[in-house]
Amino acid sequence: MKYFFYILVAIALSSCSKEVEPGSTGGPENGGPAKPNGVINAALFEQINLDYPGLEKAKALYEADMYYDAVSAILTYYRLRSGITNTSVSLLNVTATEDDKSKANYALDNNRFFVNNYYEDGATKQPYSLTKDGAINWLFEPAGADNEYQKQLHRHQWFVPQAKVYRVSKDERYIQSWISVYNDWLKNNPMPASGTNTTTWWQLQVAERVLGQTQLFDYYKNSVNFTPEWFSEFMVHFAEHADFLIRYPYSEGNILIAQASALAFAGVLFPEFKNASTWMETGFETLGTEVQKQFLDDGMHYELDFSYHISAIADFYEVMKLADANKHIVGPVAADFNQYLHKAAQVVMHFTYPNYFTNPSNGYLVPGFNDTRQSSWTRSVLNRNYTRYNEMFPQDMELLYMGTYGQRGTKPSTAPKAFTTSGYYVLRNGWDRLSTMLILSNNYSENSMAVWSHNQPDNGTFELYHKGRNFFPDAGVYAYTGDGDNTDRLWYRQTKVHNTMTLGGQNIANAKGKSLAVVSNGSTEIIATENQGYNNLKHRRYVFFVDKKFFVLVDEGIGTGTGTVNLNFNLCEGDSEVIISTDKNGAHTAFADGNNILVRTFGNGSLTTVPFNGKVSYTPGVSFDRKAYSVNMIKNDNQTVRYITVLYPGEQAGTIPVTAAFTQPFRDSGVDLQVSVDGIAYNLTCNL
């Protein structure tokens, strides 16, 4: 009966819509009912250092076998604690966006938990319900979804939005939901006895939960529902998570950065734990090593995925900010990572399309190469990152220009930009919406052939932006993993669904891109690259940016390989607006807004053009149909197949007359050709 009475009291308290006054615990020291030691998780005393300054009262109560009272005293200490700053949380100025409110409220509705990019109803962003037979089904996967859903589900992405809405509304339903759901998750997803798994207790999932919990604690700690009982349970499992990350360090990459960041946050923000110094030192030491290993000398993150590139910079920024605000805790273990990150921030600038400045209602702002999730990088998200870069590098006036939407600072250069180590090249004529920009990807990657790699086997591919339209969007990443044989993922990784050369339509075998030239020749800018895509065929591609107005591609297939060599083009969406002309070996667009492009290909042999059905994905799990085609030439042994392609933006692109021909035979040291566009002849040369 006594325990039943306490349950009734707890239920009554949980219906309140107010926080506990600072210093109040709801325990016996404040006139509340005494509770037995068994209602709290005594494992907390194995993890908390009771000799830490400020915990003297808790230690005395513990030594008097008054465990509940000791936990109450520890909770009071945390509610009143000062001098330690969580830089990810601002309790004085909490903002809950409409998106936060949506996620928070859906979680209250039939356990509809937000999982990034997965919706039962995309129009309303309604998540799937995990309710099954009156319980939460933590094994749920939407029909047709890849296993990324299960991975992201266990990162608890709706918890922090709930906490923000709680702080704004003081509605106790949100913390009640969190406690109930997290308790259920702990019950159904215990830590493995040894090792990791690929979903619930994988390093990235654990790291994301730790980082989220450092925020949840501050948002919720003064709630009447944040009782000593729950406090002890939460803290025990928080330490369990951090210790897990110590035991099982990930091997490399963005996951290791996330893991180290989580440990740094855990150690700095909870120095009262016995293992806090180990968490903190391991986190900072790992980050200090990885910032030098993971960013190439041209600034690009070595996984060659723009999404992870931006996220990695953000992780280092957040940890530096945390260390700066808590110098008395961090001491000498903190490192200044800025010296390694400046080039990385500049990569973001050069990858950004000009429509970033115009707040577009449609269109994506960054290229979609490899596993980049273009839909994630909205204007506001990009700007938030530029604001960070302004803080990190206040002397960089070009980054200031980006961070202020061009209102301050210096407009970045329009000179050719080459990231030769990672294999990215940028040609542009301006930074406003009407500008033209081409970005070429010719990566060097040992692992890009593997299905798990974030880098795709697409060397030589490009995107071309003009007046707000991307005419050759990358195929994108539809799925991180697929069914048992990765069918969905493999389709989007095919070389032929990118804007590059193939032999017999087969995937390239190697992605070891090489830079040959980045030069200006009068009014023409030139990029030249090559890749030994097949053991018996090398693809060399020249890109001429003529008068900073239009582009000419020269593609050469060099080697002993024989068969059909394909030059593949995958265009933007537009069922009636995109017209493929097989008789002219090309295509053009006829958009009503007058923003169009002409594509024409010529060769040193007989050409045939074959359309095929293309697809493009800007968001995982979502695809759009588009038109695609290949221009084919038969290659005999030791013959070099040579193509010239004119890419000419114009209002009435389909009516512009174009011719092109090589003026010299193949030479390994360069190329010579003449192109005529709308009656004007251009002699183009590149010497390597």
279-286, long-range: CB < 8 A, 24+ apart: 279/242, 279/245, 279/246, 280/329, 280/330, 280/333, 281/333, 282/246, 283/319, 284/260, 284/319, 284/323, 284/330, 284/333, 284/334, 284/335, 285/333, 286/249, 286/256, 286/259, 286/260
- How confident is the model at residue 17, as a pLDDT? 44
Q: With the C-alpha atoms ordered 486, 489, 491, 495, is the resulting torsion angle positive or negative? A: negative
Q: Provide CB contacts within 8 A for 124, sequence distance 6+.
A: none
**Residues contacting 475, CB < 8 A, separation 6+:** 368, 456, 458, 492, 494, 497, 498, 570, 614, 615, 616, 617
For residue 611, give every residue at least 6 positions away whose Cβ sits within 8 Å of its Cβ, in sequence order, or none: 580, 582, 627, 628, 629
Give me the phi and psi of 295, to 5 degrees please.
Answer: -105, 125
Question: CATH number of the domain that 137 lies in?
Answer: 1.50.10.100
Which pair of tokens denotes residue 469? Answer: 């339209």
Which of 223, 248, 273 is the last residue before a domain boundary? 248
Indicate the DSSP class of residue 221: T
pLDDT of residue 486: 84
- Tell me how far apart the alpha carbons of residues 8 and 133 are, in angstroms, rounded to a whole number: 26
Buried b (16+ CB within 10 A) or exposed e, 403-433: beeeeebeebebebbbbbbbbbbbbbbebeb
Q: Report the distance separating Cα 139 and Cα 131, nearest Å.
A: 11
Q: Residue 430's domain is classified under what CATH number?
A: 2.70.98.70
CA distance 14 to 557: 72
Rounded CA separation 641/604 (Å): 7
pLDDT at 2: 35
DSSP 536: T
Half-sphere exposure of 292 (CA within 13 A, CB side): 7
Mean pLDDT by 10 residues, the chain (688 residues): 36 44 45 75 97 97 96 97 94 92 96 93 93 97 87 97 97 98 98 94 98 98 97 98 97 94 98 98 96 96 95 96 94 83 98 90 88 90 97 97 97 97 97 95 87 93 96 93 76 97 97 95 95 97 97 98 98 96 97 96 98 94 95 94 97 91 97 97 96
Among 248, 268, 288, give the residue marking a domain's end.
Answer: 248
Q: How far apart are CA 569 and CA 588, in angstroms?
A: 12
- Tell me how far apart the alpha carbons of residues 155 and 176 are, in angstroms, rounded to a whole number: 19
Please give the Cα distance from 291 to 278 (Å, whole number): 20
Nearest Cα residue to 386 out of 365, 416, 413: 365
Residue 582 lies in a domain: yes
Q: What does the alpha-carbon distance between residue 403 and residue 572 come to, in Å, rounded to a whole number?
A: 29
In sequence order, what DSSP letters do the residues of 91-108 get, joined into one string? TTS----HHHHHHHHHHH
The answer as to whether 266 is a domain residue is no
Is residue 354 within 8 A of residue 401, CB to CB? The reply is no
Q: How many domains does the chain have?
A: 2
DSSP 415: S
- Asked whether residue 483 is assigned to any structural domain, the reply reads yes
**292, part of any domain:** no
Q: What is the pTM of this model?
A: 0.91
Euclidean distance between CA atoms 242 and 555, whole angstroms: 52
pLDDT at 12: 36
| pLDDT at residue number 18 | 54
Q: What is the CA radius of gyration of the chain?
A: 29
Q: Per the domain annotation, does 613 fall within a domain? A: yes
Residues 330, 263: Cα–Cα separation, whole Å: 12
Contacts of 198 (CB under 8 A, 6+ apart): 147, 151
- Which listed residue (68, 250, 308, 618) is catalytic? 308
Looking at the domain assignment, is residue 324 inside a domain?
Answer: no
Paired residues of 554 in beta bridges: 542, 644
pLDDT of the residue at 335: 73
641 DSSP β-pair partners: 557
Instruction: For residue 183, tell me if it sits in a domain.
Output: yes
At 142, the amino acid letter reads P
SS3 (DSSP) at 15: coil
Output the six-digit token pair for 470. 């991307």
Q: Could you tell me the residue range of the domain that residue 675 belongs to? A: 413-687
Residue 122 lies in a domain: yes
Given 193, 226, 248, the domain boundary residue is 248
| 425 catalytically annotated | no
Distance, in Å, from the CA atom of 172 to the CA atom of 189, rounded to the nearest integer, reads: 25
User: Contact, 537 vs 523, CB < 8 A?
Assistant: no
In one-letter notation, the amino acid at residue 564 is T
